């Protein structure tokens, strides 16, 4: 019998405890590192330092940290080892650790990914991952099972934040609706049995904050999904337009910023890069809380 706490319930508990719906993206890019890290000869060591210090800076104001796998994988085994250490450190610090890897494949392959990312004790254990939906429901099903067994979660890319999302996600089906509506319905259906006491499912959805005009309809299609909403910060999304993503308690979504927090030192003179990241995260939390009060 499964006694693991529901992922959505764990996330909601942290959100309410620290009064924050902020997710900070950790995209370790040496080209954007502050001088003291950019000058390091060992880029892998600099990446390790960057992640640990970023987490230390934002741990009191961010509900979650999202680690972009590509920025680690490009270094090969040494980078993967740093990713494993960062994921473990985030979870030990009480942060919700999201691995942004956007996996999507046939069922037996996805079961192997589950073992890699959502199985307790795995080297790359995270609290949740991002998934690509192109394979269909049988590609999501293994993660749905694994999430239920281990108290983990996942976020299906329904409507991404990038400009060319219209190339595929907005293509019209025979009934005139965009493809992302069908993906939303699939996400809700596959994750229906993962709803916790909070009223939200451990199966969430990536919904770009850069497309606020579609949020209300997606909330209708996915009433029990927590939205992971990238696009605030460097991509310029306005948190004041995201109201339909949230319920009357102020729950229902994480507002995610990567470069806008991690590399805030570029816009904030007179601060260390760690202080600049902390202040940027605080400013984002304040902006979200003012626009969308939490109860």
The catalytic site residues sit at: 102
Q: Tokens representing 10?
A: 């764990």
Torsions phi, psi for 148 (to 5 deg): -65, -40
Q: Kindly write down the DSSP assignment for every residue of 2-50, as one continuous string.
A: --PPPHHHHHHHHHHHHT--EEEEE---GGGS-HHHHT-S-HHHHHHHH
Q: Are strands 225-229 and 22-26 parallel, antiparallel or unpaired?
A: unpaired
Phi-psi region of 199 (alpha: psi -120 to 50; beta: other; left: phi over 0): left
State how far the Cα of 226 lies from the Cα of 119, in Å rounded to an integer.
21
Q: Identify which of 284, 277, 278, 234 has the alpha carbon closest to the alpha carbon of residue 254.
A: 284
Q: Tokens representing 153?
A: 């979660």
Please name the residues in contact with 136: beta carbons below 8 A apart, sequence gap of 6 or more: 186
For the chain, the first-to-last Cα distance in angstroms comes to: 33
State how far the Cα of 181 lies from the Cα of 177, in Å rounded to an integer.
7
State how far the Cα of 133 lies from the Cα of 148, in Å rounded to an integer.
19
Tell how many helices (H) and how many strands (E) occur in the chain. Answer: 11, 8
Q: Which residues pair with 282 in a beta bridge?
A: none
């Amino acid at each position: 019998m499964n006694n693991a706490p529901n992922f959505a319930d764990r996330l909601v508990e942290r959100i309410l405890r620290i009064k924050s719906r902020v997710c900070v993206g950790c995209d370790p890019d040496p080209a954007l590192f502050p001088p003291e890290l950019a000058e390091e000869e060992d880029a892998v060591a600099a990446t390790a330092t960057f992640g640990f210090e970023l987490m230390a800076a934002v741990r009191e104001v961010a509900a979650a940290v999202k680690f972009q796998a590509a920025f680690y994988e490009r270094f090969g085994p040494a980078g993967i080892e740093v990713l494993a250490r960062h994921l473990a450190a985030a979870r030990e610090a009480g942060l919700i650790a999201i691995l942004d890897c956007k996996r999507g494949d046939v069922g037996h392959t996805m079961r192997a990914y589950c073992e890699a990312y959502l199985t307790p004790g795995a080297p790359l254990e995270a609290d949740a991952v991002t998934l690509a939906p192109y394979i269909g429901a049988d590609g999501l099903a293994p993660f749905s099972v694994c999430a239920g067994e281990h108290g983990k979660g996942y976020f299906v890319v329904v409507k991404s934040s990038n400009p060319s999302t219209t190339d595929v996600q907005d293509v019209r089906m025979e009934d005139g609706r965009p493809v992302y509506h069908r993906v939303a319905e699939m996400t809700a259906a596959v994750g229906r049995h993962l709803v916790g006491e909070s009223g939200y499912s451990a199966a969430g959805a990536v919904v770009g904050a850069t497309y606020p005009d579609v949020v209300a309809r997606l909330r209708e299609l996915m009433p029990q999904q927590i939205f992971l909403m990238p696009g605030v910060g460097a991509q310029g999304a306005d948190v004041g337009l995201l109201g339909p993503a949230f319920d009357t308690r102020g729950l229902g979504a994480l507002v995610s910023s990567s470069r806008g927090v991690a590399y805030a030192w570029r816009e904030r003179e007179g601060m260390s890069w760690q202080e600049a990241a902390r202040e940027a995260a605080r400013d984002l939390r304040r902006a979200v809380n003012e626009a969308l009060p939490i109860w």
